[in-house]
Chain A
Amino acid sequence: MTRKTDSAAVQGLCSCHVCRLVSRRPRFSTPAHCPRCGAALHFRKPRSLERCWALVISAYILYIPANTLIMMETGSLITYRKDTIVSGVVHLWKTGSWMIATIVFIASVAIPLLKLFSLTLLLISVQRRSIWHPMQRTGLYRLLEGVGRWSMLDIYVVTLLAALVQMGSMATVKAGPAAIAFGAVVVLTMFATMQFDPRLIWDPLQKEDIHD
């Protein structure tokens, strides 16, 4: 009766989020909890899409100040600079540090943006119950999860420098307001990725709707 592709949910099975105990649960039933540990049971992460959307939108909003505001203020005897992420990249590029400029650009500009776009793509496709390339989309999701934390590179650099380089008038490094916004963007995308239930990618392949 059951096909290989039938999901557990279709078969009325539900896994506990906490103790991972699989229990039988009537579909379309009232809320239930795990018979072993008592945690609430859901077939899918509850309101995964909605939460994911909320976080993605928040990340989008904060991405703007993260790139327009000043990321880092560096002051020395001779110079005093205020850099946004992009101006920092440009400065690094101009001064010949192409490698570092590339790394910073990829880590700080490209990846967060790609993450946001990818999440948006996933969300839209899931919402539209698209059956378009579920394998690739799952792969994309795995990539998002893996790569997420590396976006914090910039923040690490700024926080480390700000903490370490405090030599009075000789040299100072201060984190700007963009650092907070940027950190928030990275964290929010990570949360959004966590909130996203990749099983939803496969659900449209089922004949039946999965709820809850």
Chain B
Amino acid sequence: MTETPQRDDLNDIPEAVSEPKRRFSIQLVWIIPIIAALIGLSIAVKAYLDRGQAVTITFKTGEGLEAGKTKLKYKDVMIGEVKSIAISSDRSHVVVTAEVNKDSKGLMVKDTRFWVVRPRISGGNVSGLNTLLGGSYIGVEAGASPEPREAFLGLESPPAVSMDVPGRQYVLRAAEVGSLYTGSPVFYRRMQVGQVISTELDPTGKGVTVKVFIRAPHDRFVKRNTFFWHASGVDLTLTASGVKLNTESMVAILLGGISFEDPEKSAKAPPAPPHTSFPLYVTRDEALKNSAAAEKFVLVFKESVRGLAVGSPVDLRGVTVGEVTEIAVAADPRRSDFSVPVEIQLYPEHLLAHSVGAPQQELPEPGGTESRALLNDLVAHGFRAQIKSGSLLTGQLYVALDFVPGARPAKIDWGNTPPRFPTVPGSMEKLQKNLIEIVQKIEKLPLDRLTDDAGKTIKSLDATLKSADKFLKNMDSSLVPEARSVLTESRHAIDDVRKTLSEARNTLGGANEVLSADAPVQIDLRETMREISRAAQSLRVLGDYLERHPESLIRGKKEEK
């Protein structure tokens, strides 16, 4: 092996210069695959770590959505992509599976909202025009909840207010929604400070819940006693001073809106915490009337409330402190009776007035323990509700609150909702009661018997009168001729007497001087005359007796028993 065959023509090839032997134990070239492996590994790890989160979003329709194309955008920044679109198992929805970038994983929390951004024209608002060219995308609004989630229910329309706008949400309850829509403006002193986020029907169907959002610097104007009213439309009032037209902005006229204001007096009221519930009044006047925090009570009357209407005033010594809000009728099966529960609203602000001279105190919190204690105290002293007649002519009734002397002790039933306020029968009812009592007493009289008796009495009276008549007739027929004969006889006698008298006069004429006026002859004569009249009297008695007892002529006079 050591010998090297050489050819002549190769002799002039020079010798290589030998070097001492070096050893390369490490081959640097192997660093390259190691680096490549590291790179590959790091890419793999990165890919694993960067893998997006799959979320499913359920929409009503897949309009404008395209698998692999439609993006998820948060604040117009792409955070993910729709991977697949499927129909839900019950075929009612579209289930969109999207992959969200690793960086945006944190956005996928419980209250994150998704909606499809499409061109939209609503409520004077045009949005999503860029999607006309670029195609729809799914808008994302990050929630604040810390709870991660993977399945979401997509909104059908974009949220009116994005969550990161500072401000507060409030809940308004109204009887009807009027012309409010999502996005309708909310005004404070005719300045738009917020908007309606949602309008939905209560689960009971007895009203609507309107959620409003008030932007940050303005939300402090919403106090606990702030009142909201429908600002939509035109309010035209004709008063003595002329026609008054009251409107909010043109936008509100066209689109509806809500205004709010707080009562003048209560600058000190604390700002309302978010999600406070307020009533939404129809007009400002109504709102003003109800501006004070109202406390509801129920009054149960037994009497008729005809003439009492919803809106009838609740009056305390001539000052309206509340109004009737509801009148119903309730059957009481235990007593088999009906009662009329009348719901009233009291405005403690009107009711619990400050003492004169003293600085105005903070009003007790309506419904608070202080206010309750005060009312309890008042009721303990005879404070009652009763129905009174406002006008006898129209029969209008109102609820009067006042101290009723001698009222039966009662308490406010705070356990009831609304609390039950003790009542006393009203003045009309009292009058009625008295009348009824009188009538009842009259009814109790034995009228039948009385009339019977009267009839009988009258009959006997009649009989008596008849017999009296008969008797008089008898007297006429029997007694009178006799008396007449007696009289003629007596006349004869008198004639005789007169003859005698004339004779006597003659005689007396002679003896006039002898005989004075009080001479015994004259006295005798007078005596005689008296006797005669007595005789006539006894004759009459006899006649009478004979009339009654004609048989006595035969049998003689009956012995008196």
Interface residue? B18 (CB, 8 A)? yes
**How many Å from the CB of A183 to the closest CB on chain B?**
12
Residue pair A21, B14 in contact (C-beta under 8 Å) = yes
Residue pair A50, B15 in contact (C-beta under 8 Å) = no
Residues of A within 8 A of B27 (CB): 47, 50-51, 54
Residues of B within 8 A of A14 (CB): 16
Residues of A within 8 A of B19 (CB): 30-33
Residues of A within 8 A of B40 (CB): 61-62, 64-65
Residue pair A28, B1 in contact (C-beta under 8 Å) = yes
Alpha-carbon gap, A90 to B69, bound state (A):
16
Which residues of A1-26 have CB atoms within 8 Å of chain B's CB atoms? 1-2, 11-14, 21-26
**B78: nearest residue on chain A (CB-CB)?**
A80
Residues of A within 8 A of B13 (CB): 13, 22-24
Residue pair A31, B22 in contact (C-beta under 8 Å) = yes
Residues of A within 8 A of B30 (CB): 50, 54
Most buried by B among A31, A55, A59, A77: A31
Residues of B within 8 A of A139 (CB): none
**How many Å from the CB of A114 to the closest CB on chain B?**
20
Residue pair A78, B134 in contact (C-beta under 8 Å) = yes
Residue pair B29, A50 in contact (C-beta under 8 Å) = yes
Q: Contacting chain A: which of B2-10, B82-90, B287-295, B539-547?
A: B2-10
Residue pair B4, A12 in contact (C-beta under 8 Å) = yes
Partner of B4, one of A23, A26, A34, A64: A26
| Tier of interface size on chain B | 35 or more
Partner of A57, one of B14, B15, B36, B44: B36
Residues of B within 8 A of A208 (CB): 1
Interface residue? A177 (CB, 8 A)? yes
Alpha-carbon gap, A79 to B2, bound state (A):
74
Interface residue? B124 (CB, 8 A)? no
**How many Å from the CB of B18 to the closest CB on chain A?**
5
Residue pair B43, A35 in contact (C-beta under 8 Å) = no
Which residues of A63-81 have CB atoms within 8 Å of chain B's CB atoms? 64-65, 68-69, 77-80
Residue pair A23, B33 in contact (C-beta under 8 Å) = no
Residues of B within 8 A of A181 (CB): 39, 43
Residues of A within 8 A of B7 (CB): 2
Q: Dominant SS at the B interface?
A: mixed
Which residues of B443-486 have CB atoms within 8 Å of chain A's CB atoms? none
Residue pair A23, B15 in contact (C-beta under 8 Å) = yes
Interface string of A28-57 (1 = CB under 8 A from B): 111111111000010000010011001101
Interface string of B38-56 (1 = CB under 8 A from A): 0110011001000000000
Interface residue? B71 (CB, 8 A)? yes
Residue pair B134, A54 in contact (C-beta under 8 Å) = no
Most buried by B among A50, A80, A188: A80
Chain A interface residue count, CB cutoff 8 Å, equals 46
Alpha-carbon gap, A44 to B7, bound state (A):
22
Q: Dominant SS at the A interface?
A: mixed
Residue pair B133, A77 in contact (C-beta under 8 Å) = yes
Residues of A within 8 A of B47 (CB): 68-69
Residue pair B4, A57 in contact (C-beta under 8 Å) = no
Interface residue? A27 (CB, 8 A)? yes
Alpha-carbon gap, A20 to B16, bound state (A):
13
Most buried by A among B14, B15, B16, B39: B16
Interface residue? A205 (CB, 8 A)? no
Interface residue? A125 (CB, 8 A)? no
Interface residue? B135 (CB, 8 A)? yes
Residues of A within 8 A of B69 (CB): 79-80
Residue pair B39, A62 in contact (C-beta under 8 Å) = yes
Interface residue? B77 (CB, 8 A)? no
**How many Å from the CB of A189 to the closest CB on chain B?**
12
Residues of B within 8 A of A64 (CB): 40
Interface residue? A184 (CB, 8 A)? yes
Residues of B within 8 A of A77 (CB): 133-134
Interface residue? A138 (CB, 8 A)? no
**How many Å from the CB of B8 to the closest CB on chain A?**
12
Residues of A within 8 A of B554 (CB): none
Partner of A65, one of B35, B43, B134: B43
Interface residue? A159 (CB, 8 A)? no
Interface residue? A58 (CB, 8 A)? yes
Partner of B16, one of A2, A41, A58, A59: A41
Residue pair A24, B16 in contact (C-beta under 8 Å) = yes
Alpha-carbon gap, A208 to B2, bound state (A):
12
**How many Å from the CB of B7 to the closest CB on chain A?**
7
Interface residue? B21 (CB, 8 A)? yes
Residue pair A27, B32 in contact (C-beta under 8 Å) = no
Residue pair B14, A58 in contact (C-beta under 8 Å) = no
**How many Å from the CB of A127 to the closest CB on chain B?**
16
The interface of chain B, by Cβ under 8 A from chain A, is 1-2, 4-7, 10, 13-22, 27, 29-30, 32-33, 35-37, 39-40, 43-44, 47, 69, 71, 78, 133-135
A/B interface sample: 24 pairs, CB < 8 A: A12-B4, A22-B13, A24-B4, A24-B13, A26-B2, A27-B1, A29-B16, A30-B18, A32-B16, A32-B17, A33-B17, A36-B14, A41-B16, A54-B33, A57-B36, A58-B36, A61-B36, A62-B40, A64-B40, A65-B40, A65-B43, A65-B44, A80-B71, A181-B39
A-B contact sample (15 more), CB < 8 A, given A1-B5, A27-B1: A2-B5, A2-B7, A14-B16, A22-B13, A25-B15, A30-B18, A32-B16, A34-B17, A50-B29, A54-B32, A58-B32, A58-B37, A61-B33, A69-B43, A78-B135
The 7 closest A-B pairs by CB, nearest first: A58-B36, A25-B16, A32-B16, A12-B4, A51-B29, A30-B21, A58-B33
The interface of chain A, by Cβ under 8 A from chain B, is 1-2, 11-14, 21-36, 41, 47, 50-51, 54-55, 57-59, 61-62, 64-65, 68-69, 77-80, 177, 181, 184, 188, 208
